[in-house]
Amino acid sequence: MTEESILILNMLREGKVTAEQADSLLRAVRETGNVPPPPPAPPPAPPQTPDPAAMASMQAKLAELQGKLGDLQGKLGAAQAAKTAGQAAVLAGKVLDHIPRPELDMGRINKAVDDAMRGLNSLKNDALRTARKAGRQASEEARKAAREGRKAFKFDFSADFRSDASDERPVNDRAEPEAGETGQSVVTWAGADRLHLENNYGRIKVIGSPISTASAEAKFIKTAWAEAEPAARVLLQQVFLTHQVENGCCRIGIAAPQDARDRLTVDYEITVPSGMPLEISSTFGEISTHGVSGALTAKSASGPISVTQPVGEGTTNVVTASGSVTVSEWNLPGSALSVETHSGDVQVESLTSASFQLTSRSGDVTARKAQAVTSAVFESASGDVSVTGSSAGSQIQVRTQSGNSTVTGLRAPQVLVETVSGDAELHDISGALTVKTVSGDVEADGVESSTVSLLTVSGDARWEIAAPFSGSFAGTTVSGDLSVLLGADPDVRIEMNTTSGDITLSLPVTEAVQTERHAAGKSGAGTGSVRLQSVSGDLKLV
pLDDT at 521: 95
Q: Do 137 and 187 have their domain in common?
A: no
pLDDT at 77: 43
Judge contact between 236 and 224, C-beta under 8 A.
yes
Q: Do 202 and 298 have their domain in common?
A: yes
Q: Do 162 and 290 have their domain in common?
A: yes
Q: Is residue 299 part of a domain?
A: yes
Cβ atoms < 10 Å from Cβ of 29 = 18
Q: Do 145 and 225 have their domain in common?
A: no
The Cα–Cα gap between 541 and 35 comes to 109
Give the Å distances, CA to CA, from 319 to 126, 251, 448, 460, 476. 51, 19, 36, 36, 39
Residue 540 pLDDT class (50, 70, 90 cuts): very high
Q: Is residue 385 part of a domain?
A: no
Query: Which one is predicted more confidently, 386 or 104?
Result: 386
Q: Is residue 491 part of a domain?
A: no
For the chain, the domain total comes to: 3
pLDDT at 487: 84
Q: Do 144 and 163 have their domain in common?
A: no
Which residues, in sequence order, are CB contacts of 516 under 8 Å at separation 6+? 503
Q: Are strands 215-225 and 178-188 parallel, antiparallel or unpaired?
A: antiparallel
The Cα–Cα gap between 413 and 432 comes to 6
The Cα–Cα gap between 507 and 497 comes to 16
pLDDT at 64: 54
Candidate from 41-45, 139-143, 271-275 with smallest mean pLDDT: 41-45
Judge contact between 115 and 137, C-beta under 8 A.
yes
Q: Is residue 422 part of a domain?
A: no
Q: Do 137 and 234 have their domain in common?
A: no
Q: Is residue 119 part of a domain?
A: yes
pLDDT at 538: 96
Q: Do 177 and 294 have their domain in common?
A: yes
pLDDT at 488: 86
Which residues, in sequence order, are CB contacts of 434 under 8 Å at separation 6+? 414, 415, 416, 417, 452, 453, 455
The Cα–Cα gap between 296 and 277 comes to 6
The Cα–Cα gap between 43 and 106 comes to 87
Instruction: Please determine, for residue 102, whether its predicted confidence score (pLDDT) is greater than 50.
Output: no
Residue 114 pLDDT class (50, 70, 90 cuts): low
pLDDT at 146: 47
Q: Is residue 49 part of a domain?
A: no
Which of 99, 78, 97, 100 has the alpha carbon at shortest distance from 89? 97
Q: Is residue 515 part of a domain?
A: no
The Cα–Cα gap between 119 and 352 comes to 44
Residue 162: give the domain boundaries: 158-309
Residue 47 pLDDT class (50, 70, 90 cuts): very low
Instruction: Report the SS3 class of residue 317.
Output: strand
- Residue after which a domain boundary falls, among 257, 283, 309: 309
Question: Mind listing the pLDDT tens digit for each residue in 331-349?
Answer: 999 999 999 999 999 999 9
pLDDT at 86: 38
Q: Do 173 and 237 have their domain in common?
A: yes
Q: Is residue 138 part of a domain?
A: yes
Residue 313 pLDDT class (50, 70, 90 cuts): confident
Bond into 468 cis (ω within 30): yes
Instruction: Please determine, for residue 360, whether its predicted confidence score (pLDDT) is greater than 90.
Output: yes
The Cα–Cα gap between 435 and 106 comes to 12
Residue 230 pLDDT class (50, 70, 90 cuts): very high
Instruction: Please determine, for residue 283, whether its predicted confidence score (pLDDT) is greater than 60.
Output: yes
The Cα–Cα gap between 354 and 20 comes to 114
Give the Å distances, CA to CA, from 287 to 47, 138, 202, 236, 305. 95, 43, 9, 23, 5
Candidate from 32-46, 310-324, 374-388 with smallest mean pLDDT: 32-46
Instruction: Please determine, for residue 473, whether its predicted confidence score (pLDDT) is greater than 60.
Output: yes
Distance of CA 243 to the CA centre of its chain: 40
Instruction: Please determine, for residue 441, whether its predicted confidence score (pLDDT) is greater than 50.
Output: yes
Which of 382, 476, 462, 387 has the alpha carbon at shortest distance from 421? 382
Residue 393 pLDDT class (50, 70, 90 cuts): very high
Question: Mind listing the pLDDT tens digit for each residue in 242-261?
Answer: 999 999 999 999 999 988 88
pLDDT at 165: 44
Judge contact between 415 and 429, C-beta under 8 A.
yes
pLDDT at 27: 72
Q: Do 27 and 144 have their domain in common?
A: no
Give the Å distances, CA to CA, from 440 to 55, 346, 462. 69, 23, 12
pLDDT at 326: 97
Q: Do 216 and 141 have their domain in common?
A: no
Which of 388, 457, 460, 400 has the alpha carbon at shortest distance from 426? 388
pLDDT at 79: 42
Give the Å distances, CA to CA, from 87 to 77, 90, 92. 15, 5, 8
- Residue after which a domain boundary falls, among 291, 309, 327: 309
Instruction: Please determine, for residue 51, whether its predicted confidence score (pLDDT) is greater than 70.
Output: no
Instruction: Please determine, for residue 427, whether its predicted confidence score (pLDDT) is greater than 90.
Output: yes
Amino acid at 465: I
- Residue after which a domain boundary falls, among 249, 283, 309: 309
Query: Which one is predicted more confidently, 522 or 23?
Result: 522
Question: Mind listing the pLDDT tens digit for each residue in 502-516?
Answer: 999 998 899 999 999
HSE (CB half, 13 Å, CA atoms) of 470?
Answer: 7
Q: Do 119 and 261 have their domain in common?
A: no
Judge contact between 29 and 5, C-beta under 8 A.
yes
Amino acid at 443: E
Residue 232 pLDDT class (50, 70, 90 cuts): very high
Q: Compute and round to an integer the Cα radius of gyration of the chain.
A: 41
Which of 175, 161, 155 has the alpha carbon at shortest distance from 261? 161
DSSP 260: G
Q: Do 181 and 294 have their domain in common?
A: yes
Amino acid at 267: D
Cα angle: 472, vertex 477, 479; to 5 degrees:
160
